[in-house]
Each structure stands twice: as C-alpha cells, then as structure tokens.
Amino acid sequence: MDGYERVFDDRTPGVEDYEPTASYLSYTVGLGLAIVATIASFVVSQTDLLWAPGIPVGLLVLAIAQIGVHLVFFLHLGSGSESTNNILALAFGVIIVFLVIGGSIWIIANLNENTMPSADVLNMRQ
Amino acid sequence: MTVATVETRPTAVSATLASELTVGKRTAGGPSPKRTVVAYGFWIFILSDMVMFAALFAAYAVMAGNTAGGPTGAQLFNLRSVFIETMCLLLSSYTCGLGALSAERRNSALFFLFAALTFVLGAVFLLIEGTEFAGMVARGAGPERSAFLSSFFTLVGTHGAHVSIGLVWLVYLAAQVKTKGLRPAVLRRLLCWSLFWHALDIVWVGVLTLVYLMGVT
C-alpha cells in the first residue's frame, strides 16, 4: 500500500514524474541573501552610514527586501502556475496587513495631534 | 482504502488523454495534486496568522513611545543577543528547508539530522528570549510597567509562543516519520510545518526591524 501511495497519491492524473520545486542551492542562496540583509540592517541602525532621519526608511527597505528573499527562496513563491493562488492570497494578506498597521499609525498620530495639549498650552504652564 | 484507490489509479486515463492534459510538466486541466491543495489551505491559515500579528505590530507601533516614565527600548534592548537570536532563527529556517527537502527525497537519516539541528537552533532562540524577558522583569520592566512594555511583551511573546508550538510540532512530526515513514501524508504534514516555520522567520524580520533596530536608534 505504501509503495502504491508513494507512486500515485500526490500526483495530478496524467503527470508522471514529480520533481521537487526546491533545491539545496536555492535554500543556500536564500540564506546568504538573508544574512546579508540582516547584517546590513544592524550596520545601518548602529552606524551613521545613512543620514540619521533616513535610517527608519532604510531599515524598512531592508526588511521588505529580506521578506521578499524569504518568500522566494524559502517559501518558493515563484512564477509557476501552482503559485498563482498562493500569490493572490498573499497579495490580499499584504493589503490587510498594511491597512491595519498603516491605518492604526495614521489614525492614532492624528488623534495625538488633535487631542494632546498644544505646545502653547504647555509653554504657558512654565 | 487500497482497493478503492487502485480503481481510480491514474493509469486508467488513456495515454492520449493524459498527453492532452499535460503541457510540459504542468497540467492544463484536472485536479491539482493533494500536496498543492493542502499547502494552499495552510497558506491561508498562515496569512490569517499574519493579520493577527499585524494587529499586534500596529498596537506596538502606536504605543512604543508611551513609556510612562519607565525604561525605553534603547535602555532595555541588548542588540548583541538580538543578533544571535536572529541568526539562530535564520539558520533554523535554513535547516528546516533542507530537512523538508531531504524528506521529499526520502532520505530519512538526513531529515532527522536537519530536524535535530532545527530543534536545537529554535530552542537556543527561545532560551535567549526567555533570559531577556526574565532580565527585564527582574529590572522592574515587566509588561505592567508601561503601555510600551505591555505591547512589547504581547508582540514578542506571541512570536515566542509560536516558536514553542513549532518546536513541539516538530518533535511530533519526527516521531511520525520514525513510526510511519516518509509517506505522502506525513510529507504533507512536514510541508505545512515548514511553511509555518518559515513564516515565523518572516514575522521575526518585522520584530527585529520595528521593535529592536528602530527601538534603539
């Protein structure tokens, strides 16, 4: 039974040979790129390589790049036909994530601006 | 079960029909392999988990500045241990991928080796994180100190809880490989687990950037 299952259970009817989409090489390349991005993040945050106000932007760019590396080399989201549904679902997830995080920051920053005592009021106390 | 599946075995499809359905290595029609369907379903779960993490990230981003006169991130975080944590998790993601690949290639000895490495790296990560948390609580910087620390412990703690669950799940799957062998059902479970583990590494990239690196600069 096990032998039969091995041969047929996980294949689309009509597809004879199943080859793993990943390889040791793709994981190794992914690991190398991820380590480079991680070290770059630490360097950017700890040195004055970047203009100080630009550091958060630089860190965000590196994080997004590293997430891209993880998606492609570790999770194997590629251009293959079997990835299409996964990528569509991911796109939806990314929209929700950005709405939740970006929206929260935006709204609360606005509230802080409009409900905190203004600088004039604070100065009058002194 | 065997008898039922034998009757529907794919060789029943005639050779010409099979070649019509197949374009190169891809199929033009017919159902997707079970493996693809299972991975898709688990992918949906992971994305819903990401949405939950997004809420925690949003809470942290909003409250990071509200320290209520207590310690700030720059005073609390030790970037050296965070760097070691990051490397542990990254390497464990790598060994997890190699383990999944070895399993797919029916090499159970290599699978056990990589699974053990993954477990050790994940455990070291948890150990460092636990030490960090204990040190913060001992210094009076526990979750009750300020909104910043409440959201910090919620976000990073939830990630740590996921890693713990991942380790338990890995042991459970290794036991399945041991007893049941690398058959397709077990391989599909391993696939789901490796998706989960890689996704945790992606969440950690966010934690590292937003909490630690932006917290100290």
Q: Is A121 on the interface with B (CB under 8 A)?
A: no
HSE-CB for A30 with a 13 A CA cutoff: 29
So what's the ipTM on this one? 0.81
- Which residue is closest to A57 within chain B, CA to CA? B214
At B175, list the tokens. Answer: 């036991």
Q: What value does the mean pLDDT take over residues A1-11?
A: 47
Q: Write the DSSP string, B10-56.
A: GGGS-HHHHHHHEETTEESSSPPPHHHHHHHHHHHHHHHHHHHHHHH
Among B62, B88, B95, B207, which would you mutate to test the A interface (most chain A Cβ atoms within 10 Å of its Cβ)? B62
Distance CA B126, CA B117 (A): 14
Q: Which amino acid is at B154?
A: T
Decide if pLDDT at B113 tops 90. Answer: yes
Q: Give the model's pLDDT for residue A80.
A: 75
Instruction: Find all residues with CB under 8 Å of A109, minimum gap 6, and list them.
Output: none
CB contact under 8 A, A23 and B202: no
Summary mean pLDDT of chain A = 82
Number of cross-chain residue pairs from A and B with Cβ atoms under 8 Å apart: 167
Could you report how far apart the first and last alpha carbons of chain A are, in Å? 84
This prediction has a pTM of: 0.83
Domains present along chain B, CATH in parentheses: 31-58+83-213 (1.20.120.80)
CB contact under 8 A, B50 and A97: yes
If contacts are CB pairs under 8 Å, which of residues 69-88 in chain B contact chain A?
Answer: 79, 83, 86-87
**φ, ψ dihedrals at B168, nearest 5°:** -60, -45
pLDDT tens for A43-85 read: 999 988 888 888 999 999 999 999 999 999 999 887 777 788 9
Q: Is B57 on the interface with A (CB under 8 A)?
A: yes
Higher pLDDT, B185 or B5: B185
If contacts are CB pairs under 8 Å, which of residues 91-120 in chain A contact chain B?
Answer: 92-93, 96-97, 100-101, 103-105, 108
Nearest to A12 by CA among B31, B15, B4, B36: B31
Q: Give the model's pLDDT for residue A123.
A: 67
CB contact under 8 A, B91 and A92: no
Nearest to B193 by CA among B45, B31, B54: B45
- Residues of chain A contacting residue B43, judged by C-beta atoms under 8 Å apart: 86, 89-90
Q: Write the DSSP string, B70-104.
A: S--HHHH--HHHHHHHHHHHHHHHHHHHHHHHHHH
CB contact under 8 A, A20 and B58: no
Distance CA B158, CA A71 (A): 22
Could you report how far apart the first and last alpha carbons of chain B are, in Å? 61
- Residues of chain A contacting residue B34, judged by C-beta atoms under 8 Å apart: 9-10
Instruction: Find all residues with CB under 8 Å of A104, minimum gap 6, and list them.
Output: B58, B59, B61, B62
Residue B98 in contact with residue A25, Cβ under 8 Å? no
Q: Give the model's pLDDT for residue A22.
A: 67
Decide if pLDDT at B91 tops 80. Answer: yes
